[in-house]
Structure 1
Amino acid sequence: MEHFDTLVFSLYRLFFTLQAFLLILRIIKNLECRLIKRGASLGIQLEVCRFKQETVPKIFTRLALKHRDKIAFYFEDQTWTFRQVENFSNKVANFFKKRGYQRGHVTGLFLENSPEFVCFWLGLNKIGVVTALINTNLVEDPLLHSIRTVDPKCLIYGSTLKQAVRNISGKISHLELYEFFENGQNSLVLDGAENINFRLKKESEVSPTEEIKKGKNKDKLIFIYTSGTTGLPKAAILTNAKFIFMTVGLRAMSQLKEYDVLYVSLPLYHSAGGIGGVGQCLIGGTTVAVRKKFSASNFWKDCIKYKCTSAFYIGEICRYLLSEHSKNDTPIRHSVTKLIGLGLRPQIWNHFVSKFNIKEVYEFYGSTEGNTNLMNIDNKSGAVGYIPTWAKLFHPVSIIKCNMSTAEPIRGSDGYYQPCKPGEPGLFIGKVSFRKQMGRFDGYVNKKANEKKLLQNVFVNGDVYFDSGDILVQDEMGYFYFRDRMGDTFRWKGENVATSEVEAVISKILNLSDAVVYGVEVPGTEGKAGMVAIVPTTRTLDMKKFCENLKMNLPSYAVPLFVRVMKSVPLTGTFKLMKVDLRKEGFNVEKIQDELFIYDAINSTYVELTPNIYEGLITGNIRL
């Protein structure tokens, strides 16, 4: 009887506890209720994955059994079922296993968007091989640097990128080369390379089950390159745990479902398209429509063709779509109800969602290598995330005071960094956890690069925070807003441009030391356009030859759009003070006495930046 009374009392206590909890949820505003529910769902899923030692290959193998004939990928006029993705990736795994590839080995993948792109790295990781996803815009030294950074055993490249590989083939002769022919066509491969289409035709589709079972949650999955805030591209480490966290995080917060069809036109070598987008298929069973390259004129046509219910974006895409359809007020009969992405500017937010009838926008903030992730889940115009004060106990991120020109954090008189007040912009940082995935920092392949991204003894002795390098501001309600990317990197055409990388190329071409690259704002454009200030060693500078050399040695998005030819430059040891002044002056022909040039893409040269051209750029009549 005593035990029965104890049980009844316990049930009563549980009942009243639940009632109290429900009452609290009613009091808390609706947004915070959603945040609690979705955050709890994410946390539970991540803990289950950690406990079960889940990996991407393990999860996808189960999904492939569950959804054998469901469409996994739409691509151009192709449809790929989950069974076909599973079989192709199994062929990749079995082929490279026979070639002696083992757990921990690294390969390079240099291929344009396609279902095969995903199948290659997925298949390789089924046997524990890590794949570096190389930016397809890279040429010459930047491409060579990206390959050497990860020291791969082989390079798998697409036939459309053959010329870029040929140009550096003499410097990577120690690597095994595998050429993949898009659309299955056969032609001659580069000297020393193998036709991997031919090899895979003969390979077994049987799943390497025992190898897949060996995988661990914290094992490395892929490397994704990021410029961060300084230097040449760095290979960021993406473990299975990080991939699952990023994918499930977006899924939980945006409420994507298996029945959704997600449109992805972003490059798959970046984390937004390659993890947040493609991951919804590999981890969640959602059908993904992939496009080889973004096209403003075909964006909505594709969404209609594939009956997409959601789409991934970056800010540049939104601006291009508005520009493409600016003269047409006829409603577009698409079925997209939600957009997921980053960089949708407050200035065009309301206009964009109104024009294209978008019900939900899930704007997020984060970096490939970082742990400072935010998401806006209630359509708040311009916000990149929302965290109430109490929630920082579970997701400890902060904004601290810094030098607004250099983003260098500032310590107070007590020796610790100082938190910003609501409405005060500052450096965004996130506390590093060495146990929980939600605060984990896996960093880069180059361990020395990790030291530059970590702040020690921030608020108390012994704590460690990740330095995002970005300026954010939080209002009194708890909403975060992106302000600027500082340091020596700026964003253009959806890509990060490392100024030191461009400076090194220009200095080599012109044989000079005084080359300073920075980003400048151009009205009506997303990000910042590249500009270089140089002091030439000769009186005459062949601008056409200079331009052609830049195009040969830099990806297209990194070629400066403006050139300022100076007689002398006030230098500092790190160029920081000088860059601030140059950035403020921009390309204003009315204030600058130096010669100014603008990139002429049609004729592959630089032409004089005249007052008329300047006026056209400022008014938006001339587009970059």
Structure 2
Amino acid sequence: MFETLRRDLRFYTGLARTLGRVRGIAPDSPRRICDDLEASARKWPDREAIRFEGRSLSYREMDGLANRFARWALESGLRPGDRVALFLPNRMEYLPAWYGLSKVGVVSALVNNQLTGQALAHCLNLANAQEVIVDPETSPALQAVLGNLEKGPRLWSLEAPLPGEGDLMALLSGLSDAPPPASAREGLTAHDTALLIYTSGTTGLPKAARVTHVRVQLYMRGFAGATGARPDDRIYVALPMYHATGGLCGMGAALLNGACVVLRRRFSATQFWSDIRQEDCTLFAYIGELCRYLANQPPHPDERAHRLRLAFGNGLRPDVWEDVIGRFGVPRVLEFYGSTEGNVSMFNFDGRLGAIGRIPRVVKQRFNARIVRFDYEVEAPQRGAGGFCTEAAPGEAGECLGRIDAADPRAEFSGYLDKAASEKKVLRDVFAPGDAWFRTGDLLRQDADGYVYFVDRVGDTFRWKGENVSTAEVALRLQAVPGVVEANVYGVAVPGADGRAGMAALVTEEGFDLGMLATRIAVDLPEYARPAFIRLQPEMEVTGTFKQRKVELVAEGFDPAKVAQPLFHRAADGGYRPLDAVAYEGISAGRIRI
């Protein structure tokens, strides 16, 4: 009873604090995210705002640098709605750049700094930017695709410019750090686009999501409230700034509360705990796989010698969650659910292990999210006899939908630059004629107490032998097997068989025993969910935000002519046998059953 009351108190306190910070946000308001950040600069001018590689900016200096970017945009002839692409790694100037450009209505396209070739050219062409800003780390990749760009943007570098690139830092140093003229923001509202943020491209080329000032305010103000950060906090951010979790949630938690962001160029599992201790950090932002990398490291002398009081982020699996709290001694984990382009968000304020959020029945109407029954055959929400969807029962997995309401800033859906892609994410006539709901593409389930759990991505769940198999749940079981470092599970087509058979790409420790894996999964997984194929590889291919890539693995399947790494198939006795060209031909011809 006491534990229930304690959890309820923590949940409702966190909810009230978060809602209090986002109150007053409105699409037609002239107050935009740049106004929120300017207010911080006025309130805490001399406090340290951003610390990066031994250098730091105070709030006053951060705002002054942003003003220089704004004045550069005006002097370059940029107008509200024009676009500048930031193709940069994490660095001191990243947030001041887009913050400053937003002051004069210019949209920043935050391009993944790890992209090269076709994917990079695709993202830059989508942005249709007049200017592209790079630095020495990203410039070579940009130079390599210039011939594939549909538009010839002007190129600028923040240091050591190559031929054809302007010296932006030299130009900025000659500009005033005073605010741009008030006339530059006349007529601008929170409904205007602030940023373009790209989807991760795990299953294809990235899409560019339009992120309005309203959406940025919800992210940054929401996490300023949800984390309860204080001016004396130091928040460690090693996630990429082109992604919402690090670049908006982490930065908002700090910069709208007068705290300091300890920014790193990139995440390092071996350096993490030393950084945390040396910088005296009190909070850190995570993606689930970041914490898994930490859990897979040998014990570090500093992993408990810290003042961390909160880790916040999304995608943390229960087994790693226990390590964060138990092994690393972080008192609280704040897991949240949301997506860059989506209109659904929720928080697990009270720390229920494994839950991504909570929607208690008594406040359900305050949330625009619903979990509806799902048809796995057509990979779409299930329609009843009347043509409408029905909510999933407690414990039943279904797709999460978000009600679209242009009048409610928390329920807006701004979509992608590609209108056709935007329309594919909208489901109409869901519960009533004429209503519209955003398809998250995530399968979730909710228990009787209102806690919500992630099940899988739509499309990652596949059918085999008439049963639905969740790749996320199978991966969780595989990662519990001794010697398995990482597991990426997906379905592959098998000639002559209905559905898709399970396959797992594994990163393993030296001396890994496939026999042990077969024995464990025979106990932990039903027969239909046990991977038919195993692929061993030295490391996992991931996106810049640590999401596992599957599209290439699915395309290569279990064909040894396409896969250089060791392959195995599950035999009739449940053990795994090497999969060579002869075995592949036998499976394809139906002589070897899986």
Partner of residue 129, structure 1: 106
Q: Indicate the SS of the match to 1:528.
A: strand
CA contact (8 A) 1:109 1:131 kept: yes
Give the alignment of 1:42-441 within 5 angstroms. 42-50=18-26, 53-172=30-149, 174-181=152-159, 186=160, 188-190=161-163, 192-210=164-182, 211-212=184-185, 214-227=187-200, 231-326=204-299, 332-404=304-376, 407-441=379-413
Structure 1 residue 598: Cα displacement: 4.5
Which amino acid in the other structure matches residue 528 of structure 1? N
- d(CA) in 2 for partners of 1:237, 1:125: 14
Q: Do 2:233 and 2:254's aligned partners in 1 also have CA atoms closer than 8 Å?
A: no
Note the C-alpha offset of 1:214: 4.8
1:583-598 paired onto structure 2 within 5 Å: 583=502, 598=537
Q: Is the 8 A contact 1:599 1:607 kept in 2?
A: no
Written as runs of structure 1 = structure 2, the 5 A alignment for 1:416-495 is 416-487=388-459
SS in structure 2 opposite 1:103?
A: coil
Partner of 1:581: 500
Q: How many residues align?
A: 514
Q: Is the 8 A contact 1:597 1:606 kept in 2?
A: no
Tell me the distance in 1 between the aligned counterparts of 2:504 and 2:60.
57
1:525 shift after superposition: 5.0
Rounded to whole Å, the distance in 2 between the matches of 1:303 and 1:599 is 29
Q: CA deviation at 1:42?
A: 3.8
Secondary structure of 2:455's counterpart equals strand
SS in 2 for 1:435: coil
Kept in 2, the 8 Å contact 1:229–1:486? The answer is: no
Matched residues, percent identical? 30
3-state SS of paired residue (1:476): coil
Aligned-partner Cα distance in 2 for 1:359–1:586: 33
Cα distance in structure 2, aligned partners of 1:615 and 1:313:
36
Say whether the 8 Å CA contact 2:80–2:105 is kept in structure 1.
yes
Is the Cα contact below 8 Å between 2:224 and 2:256 reproduced in 1? no
What is the distance in 2 between the residues matched to 1:486 and 1:425?
A: 11
What does the per-residue CA deviation read over 1:560-582, in whole Å, with 9 as the maximum and x for residues that have no partner?
Answer: xxxxxxxx956xxxxxx97x514
Q: 1:381 to 1:142 in 2, by over 3 A?
A: same
Following the alignment from structure 2 to structure 1, what is the Cα–Cα distance between the partners of residues 187 and 392? 46
Q: In 1, Cα distance between the equivalents of 2:9 and 2:406?
A: 28
Aligned-residue offset at 1:596: 6.8
Contact 2:492 2:500 survives alignment (8 Å): no
RMSD: 3.4
State the partner residue of 1:622: none
Q: Which amino acid aligns with 1:225?
A: Y
Determine the C-alpha separation between the residues in 2 that align with 1:455 and 1:355: 44
Q: Do the aligned partners of 1:407 and 1:427 also contact (CA within 8 Å) in 2?
A: no
Shift of 1:279: 2.1
Displacement of 1:40 after TM fit? 4.0
Larger mean Cα displacement after TM superposition, 252-261 or 387-396? 252-261
Q: In the aligned structure 1, how far is the partner of 2:122 from the partner of 2:144? A: 14
Q: Shift of residue 90 of structure 1?
A: 1.1
Q: Residue type matched to 1:170 in 2? A: G
1:528 to 462, 472, 488: 488
Cα distance in structure 2, aligned partners of 1:475 and 1:257 = 33
Letter in 1 for 2:252: G
SS in 2 for 1:278: helix
State the distance in 1 between where 2:317 and 2:340 align: 21
Q: 1:287: how far off?
A: 1.2
Q: Residue 390 of structure 1: CA displacement?
A: 2.3
| Alignment partners' CA distance in 2, 1:44 and 1:296 | 36
Q: Residues 109 and 157 of structure 1 are in contact (CA less than 8 Å); yes or no, is this contact kept in structure 2?
A: yes
Q: How big is the shift at 1:276?
A: 0.3
Compute the displacement of 1:152 (Å).
1.0
3-state DSSP of counterpart to 1:160: coil
- 8 A Cα contact 1:376 1:383, kept in partner: yes
**Aligned partner of 2:425: which letter?**
K
Runs of 5+ unmatched residues, structure 1: 1-25, 491-517, 534-567, 571-576, 618-624
Pick closer, same or farther for the CA change 1:286–1:367 going to 2, 3 Å: same
CA distance in 1, matches of 2:270, 2:336: 25
Quote the offset at 1:96 in angstroms: 1.7
Task: Provide the rounded CA distance (Å) in 2 between the counterparts of 1:616 and 1:332.
Answer: 43
Distance 1:430 1:601 in 2: 32
Query: Which residue number in structure 1 is paired with residue 584 of structure 2?
Result: none
- State the alpha-carbon separation in 2 of the partners of residues 122 and 393 from structure 1: 34
Q: Give secondary structure in 1 for the equivalent of 2:393.
A: coil
Q: Is the aligned partner of 1:607 residue 2:585?
A: no
Deviation at 1:300, TM superposition (A): 1.6
SS at match of 1:358: coil
Letter paired with 1:179: S
- Cα 1:64–1:400, aligned 2, differ >3 Å: closer, same or farther? same
Higher helix proportion, which one?
1
Q: 1:432 to 1:333 in 2, by over 3 A?
A: same
Q: CA deviation at 1:352?
A: 2.5
**Residues 334/441 of structure 1: CA separation in 2 closer, same or farther (3 Å cut):** same
Q: Any conservation in 1 of the 2:84–2:132 contact (CA below 8 Å)?
A: yes
Deviations 1:355-388 (A, max 9, x none): 1111111001111000111110011111110111
Decide whether the 8 Å contact of 1:228 with 1:489 is kept in 2.
no
Q: d(CA) in 2 for partners of 1:375 and 1:232?
A: 29
Residues 316 and 526, structure 1, Cα contact 8 Å, conserved in 2: no
Give the counterpart letter for 1:198 in structure 2: A
SS in 1 for 2:137: helix
Call closer, same or farther: CA 1:213–1:332 in 2, change over 3 Å: farther
> 1:34 and 1:229 mapped to 2: Cα distance?
35
Distance, in Å, in 2 between the alignment partners of 1:198 and 1:530 is 50
Q: Cα offset for 1:203?
A: 1.6
1:248 is displaced (CA, Å) by 1.9
Give the match's secondary structure for 2:118.
Answer: helix
CA drift of 1:330 comes to 7.5
Look up the match of 2:524. none
Conserved? CA contact 1:372–1:429, under 8 Å: yes
Change in Cα spacing, 1:254 to 1:124, as seen in structure 2 (3 Å) is same
Per-residue deviation, residues 486-514 of structure 1 (Å, max 9, x unmatched): 23799xxxxxxxxxxxxxxxxxxxxxxxx
- Given the two structures, how large is their TM-score scaled by the length of structure 1? 0.75
Hey, what's the Cα distance between the residues in 2 that align with 1:236 and 1:489?
Answer: 25
Single out whichever of 431-440 and 32-41 deviates more from structure 2: 32-41
Partner secondary structure for residue 24 of structure 2 = helix
Conserved in 2, the CA contact under 8 Å of 1:263 and 1:312? yes
How big is each residue's C-alpha offset from its partner over 1:427-461, in whole Å with a ceiling of 9 and x where there is no partner? 11111121111211111111211111111111111
CA distance in 2, matches of 1:303, 1:585: 34
- Do the aligned residues in 1 keep the contact of 2:50 with 2:58 (CA within 8 Å)? yes
